[in-house]
Each structure stands twice: as structure tokens, then as C-alpha cells.
Amino acid sequence: MVDREGHLQWIELSRTKIAEYGLFDIYAARRTAGRRDAEFLLLDAPDWVTIVPYIEEKEAFLMVRQYRHGSGTVTLEFPAGIVDSGECAAEAARRELLEETGCTAGTFDEVAAVNPNPAFMTNRVHTFVATGLVCDAELDLDENEILDVETVPVERVAKGLGTDPFINGIMVISYTWFVRWRERRRPKERER
């Protein structure tokens, strides 16, 4: 089978769950490309959401500082989380923003969703820009979640992106979508 450009696609023959780790499951997929077939490893995770809470009047973001167990370092990044079962991405974005920052937002715009690594991951990460923030709730954190909420100038993020404490790759994606969201909105503002 080929796609519109004539490129070969693999067809799935079977899929077996190998392990469950809470954050994700591991599957082995048996797939065929005509004369050959082989087994491929899949990391199957729920979709992720990242929220870019943008405070327009301060030209700043609301960000969370937290210890990240994968990198073993403290990072400064946008609020983010996992889409729970039965939730849509927009609902997860609202919930995570409220839990991690105590804020609600007047507007949530989904800018884009991409696959974190389509080589072996099955899920997508959705980025929402949140504006019109009202922050008057208590944080509601998971048992081992310890985080500080900070207001960070957009300029500081733009300059520091890719260096400590802004080393989260998902955040680079979300920042890129934020820039795109702002560029798309500017022509409209000029028309007013």
C-alpha cells in the first residue's frame, strides 16, 4: 500500500501489549510491507497538553518551576499534563492550568498538535494559548508534585530557550506555536 506520494506504508497484522507502566503502555506491532514483515515497538501514551498562559499586559508567561525526574534537574516550563480518560484535550488544558497555577482563562486557543516522536510514540501533544487569566484558586497538585508558579517575561524565554532551566523540548514546540499564534493574530489587531 502506498500513500498519495507513492511512498510505501506498512500494514498492521497484529498488536500485542508487552507492558503497562502507568504513564504509557508498550506494544509490539507486527506489520507487513508486502514481501517483508517485521515487529515494531510502540510506546502508547495518552495525549499530552501544554498550556501557554500569556499575560498580555505584562508581556509575560505564567510558568511552573519543578524538579523533573527524567532530566534530574529543576526546569522552568509551561503548565502541562496528560489528557485523562474521557476528557478532550481542551478540557485537560483547562484542568491542568487550574491545578498547576490556580488560574482560569477567558480564552483557550489550540494552536497545533504534533506527535512527540512518531518513530515509536503513538500520541500527540496539543498546545493551547490561554489568555484573560484569573488566578484566585488554590493549587491542586498530585501527591509528589512540588512546584512554584512564576511570572516570566516573554523576552527571557525567547533568549533562554534551549538552555537551563528552559531545557524541555516540548516547551520549545509550545513556544514556537505561541509565536505563530501571535503572528497570526497581529494582522487582525491592525484591522481594528
What phi and psi, each to the nearest 5 degrees, are found at residue 142?
-65, 165
Name residues whose C-beta falls within 8 Å of residue 101's C-beta, 6 or more positions apart in sequence. Answer: 53, 62, 64, 79, 135, 139, 149
Q: Cell numbers at residue 102, please?
A: 490556580
Residue 142 is which amino acid?
A: D
Minimum distance, C-beta of residue 134 to a copy of itself, in the bound complex (Å): 26
Minimum distance, C-beta of residue 39 to a copy of itself, in the bound complex (Å): 10
3 C-beta neighbours (distance < 10 Å), count: 8
Minimum distance, C-beta of residue 192 to a copy of itself, in the bound complex (Å): 25
Cis-peptide into 187, omega within 30 deg: no
Minimum distance, C-beta of residue 38 to a copy of itself, in the bound complex (Å): 5
Residues 78 and 51: beta-carbon distance below 8 Å:
yes
Enclosing H/E stretch for 179: helix 169-191
Which is closer to a copy of itself, CB of 90 or CB of 161?
A: 161
| List of residues contacting a copy of itself (CB under 8 A) | 3, 5, 7-10, 12, 19, 21-23, 26, 29, 31, 33, 36, 38, 40-43, 65-75, 80, 111-122, 125, 143-144, 146, 148, 161-163, 167-170, 172-173, 175-177
Which is closer to a copy of itself, CB of 1 or CB of 137?
A: 1
Which is closer to a copy of itself, CB of 135 or CB of 167?
A: 167
Q: Cell numbers at residue 118, please?
A: 512518531
Minimum distance, C-beta of residue 59 to a copy of itself, in the bound complex (Å): 20
Which is closer to a copy of itself, CB of 119 or CB of 137?
A: 119
Residue 12's DSSP bridge partners are 31
Residues constituting the chain: 192
Residue in the structure block whose three cell numbers are 489587531 = 189
Which is closer to a copy of itself, CB of 66 or CB of 101?
A: 66
Which is closer to a copy of itself, CB of 87 or CB of 145?
A: 145
Minimum distance, C-beta of residue 60 to a copy of itself, in the bound complex (Å): 17
